[in-house]
Structure 1
Amino acid sequence: MARNEYQNRLEGLREDVLHMGETVRERLGIALRALEERNEALGREVIERDYEINETYLELERECTDLIALQQPVAGDLRFIAASFKIITDLERVADLATNLGEYAGRAEREIYPDVDVGHIGERVDEALGEAMAAYAEEDVEACYAIAERDEEIDDLCERASELVIRDLIETDMDGAETERLFGEVSRLLLTVRDLERVGDHAVNIAARTLYMVESDDELIY
């Protein structure tokens, strides 16, 4: 393969990874809206279109494999391809979490804990994901560290939300039928918070791989 063609494929890989990131963020946004509105139809849209993300992932996985197998890249090019492969894996998992959120939207019957601002947590994790993809696009090392620091804030938000729900559940007096219904709603809410926290973790993973790609620094990889 001519050097120019090889470089074009590398740049094409970067563009495709960024496009996948945009698509995943779009699906996450729809899932968050479905949760906010308790809109089963929107949630179903995210679930039914997840196969598109999976197909994109497989196509990019093959491209990464071909570039490594056929070109035997070294140094910076190898780190770029390896980081891109890891990042599409994180994006595919974020898409899976978005389908979970879409499913929870279909099961939500009422808002039982208005003090738990799932929408705010969702905004924060979506921002972190967007910033992580921007760091990858721009090879922005400082942004990578900032994303890792922001994750602590997201973790705190999720921890406080979970504690509020559990404490209130312990203190609430209910009869048998009401207890069963409340447990279902509490379970859904706790799973929602957990999955949003995981989206934030994947944003940090993307930042960590970007840092390694740019500077061969594995400080943020965990």
Structure 2
Amino acid sequence: MPREGYQDQLDELREDVLYMSEVVLERLRTGLDALDRKDEDLAWDVIEGDHEINQLYLDLEQDCIDLLALQQPVAGDLRFVAASFKIITDLERIGDLATNLGDYTLEAQQSVFPDVDVQAIGSETIDMVEAAMDAYAEADAEACYAIAEADDALDEQCERASETVARELIEREDTESEEEVERLMRDVHRLLLTIRDLERVGDHAVNIAARTLYMVENDDDLLY
């Protein structure tokens, strides 16, 4: 691996990480669309597409290892490679959470609790991941703090949504058969898992921002 190609390899790593984020975000959008429309074909697209994300992760993991082992980067370059390695891990996990949305779509029996706007929560998480990847691409330290603040608002939104589910379930006055109750509880469980998974996407966006801040300024303020 000639040293004169070193900077090109760093640039290629950045571009490849950004490409992986585009694939992951597209899977997340499709998963939310499938859930909203209860579209099983879209759900299977997300589930079966997880293999591509996993392969991208493995390829980029090897690229990071090669750079560390063969080029022995130091200072800012070392932080860049290390941050990129951690970021692709978060992206892979977001891909897994998108796959969960596909699974939930296949399991969905009925629409429950229309006051809970899952699509609005999902849109917020997509915005956060996009902003985190923009910060990585542009080495924008200030943007990293804004993403952490957005996560606080997302956590509150998810908490309110979960509370709405619990409150409306308690207040239901419908007389239902045992079979209907069991179906309702499965859908409630699925809805709460969906809220939880979207909240986790936000957590991964913060992780990406934290690694970017460390990469740019050698600042571990957002790491946790």
TM-score class, shorter-chain normalisation, is over 0.9
Aligned to 1:72: 72
> Contact (CA 8 Å) 1:38, 1:109: kept in 2 or not?
no
2:40 aligned with 1:40, yes or no?
yes
CA displacement 1:51-84 (0-9 Å, x = unmatched): 0000010000000001001111111010000000
2:187 aligned with 1:185, yes or no?
yes
Aligned to 2:29: 29
> Contact (CA 8 Å) 1:64, 1:85: kept in 2 or not?
yes
Q: Counterparts of 1:39-188 in structure 2 under 5 Å?
A: 39-173=39-173, 174-175=175-176, 176-188=178-190
Q: Measure the CA separation in 2 of the matches of 1:35 and 1:119.
A: 9
CA displacement 1:74-128 (0-9 Å, x = unmatched): 1101000000000000000000000000111111122111100000000000000
Matched residue pairs, number? 222
Q: Measure the CA separation in 1 of the matches of 2:3 and 2:156.
A: 48
Q: Measure the CA separation in 1 of the matches of 2:12 and 2:180.
A: 55
> Contact (CA 8 Å) 2:210, 2:221: kept in 1 or not?
yes
TM-score by length of 1: 0.98
RMSD: 1.0
- Deviation of 1:41 (Å): 1.1
**Runs of 5+ unmatched residues, structure 1:** none
Q: Measure the CA separation in 1 of the matches of 2:148 and 2:202.
A: 9
CA displacement 1:159-211 (0-9 Å, x = unmatched): 00001101222232444222211100100000000000000000000000000
Most deviating of 100-109 and 87-96: 100-109
Secondary structure, in 3 states, of the residue corresponding to 1:217? coil
Q: Measure the CA separation in 2 of the matches of 1:177 and 1:48.
A: 32
Aligned to 2:214: 212
Identity %, equivalent residues: 63
Aligned to 1:199: 201
Q: Measure the CA separation in 2 of the matches of 1:27 and 1:36.
A: 14
- Deviation of 1:4 (Å): 2.9
Amino acid in structure 2 at the alignment position of 1:167: R
Amino acid in structure 2 at the alignment position of 1:204: V
Q: Measure the CA separation in 2 of the matches of 1:180 and 1:172.
A: 14
Q: Kindly report structure 1 stretches of 4+ aligned residues shifted beyond 6 Å.
A: none
Amino acid in structure 1 at the alignment position of 2:123: E
TM-score by length of 2: 0.97
Q: Measure the CA separation in 2 of the matches of 1:86 and 1:208.
A: 10
Q: Measure the CA separation in 1 of the matches of 2:203 and 2:16.
A: 22
> Contact (CA 8 Å) 1:47, 1:102: kept in 2 or not?
yes
Q: Measure the CA separation in 1 of the matches of 2:179 and 2:62.
A: 52
